[in-house]
Amino acid sequence: MGELRDERVDLEIVSTDLVYEGAVWNVRSDTVRYGDAQMTRQYVEHPGAAAVVAIDDDGRVVLIQQYRHPIKERDWEIPAGLLDVAGEPPLETAKRELTEEVDLEADRWQHLISMHTTPGGNDEVVHVFLARGLRSVETDYEREHEESDMRVERVPLAEVVDGVLAGRLRNGILATGALAAAEVLRREAAAS
């Protein structure tokens, strides 16, 4: 079988239509040739995002809690934002979001994972980074809407992992990022 990895497939697109043009993302309907037949699929066309598992020197993860209308909850998340600045690499987006959302910068950055959030419904890819060597910074960034009453907490990584595994923390980017960070830290500890 070789190395286990996702495989790119380029199907013939018979037709494509912009069904809805939104402020952040669009909805598209594509008809593609698949084998001897055609199939039509609608999906959200997404710019992608970057997210940060920021861990302080005490092994605590910086979490934010904010209202998310589609799920009607204030869920716990890691700092994240859209890849909405033309030409900005995901790492720079992650650095910007860490500063804008929680007034922090980091000395050490490491790419953790890149993931498709919902491959059956959108084309979003989220790039998740591990940030260490945290320090507070002053910003004049004005938080609006859901960010205006955002709660920020530092929680031990083990407690975050426990919350994910118990089903109390259900944000997919938080869950994947925390589990990946825990594994990276475990491997680093085993190697030293």
Catalytic residues: 147
How many other C-beta atoms lie within 10 A of the C-beta of residue 36? 5
Question: How far lies 98's CA from each of 102, 117, 178, in Å?
Answer: 6, 20, 16
Record the tokens describing residue 14, joined without a space: 């018979």
Give which of 135, 88, 93 is closest to 111, Cα–Cα. 93
Amino acid identity of 74? Answer: R
What value does the CA radius of gyration of the chain take, rounded to a whole number of Å? Answer: 19
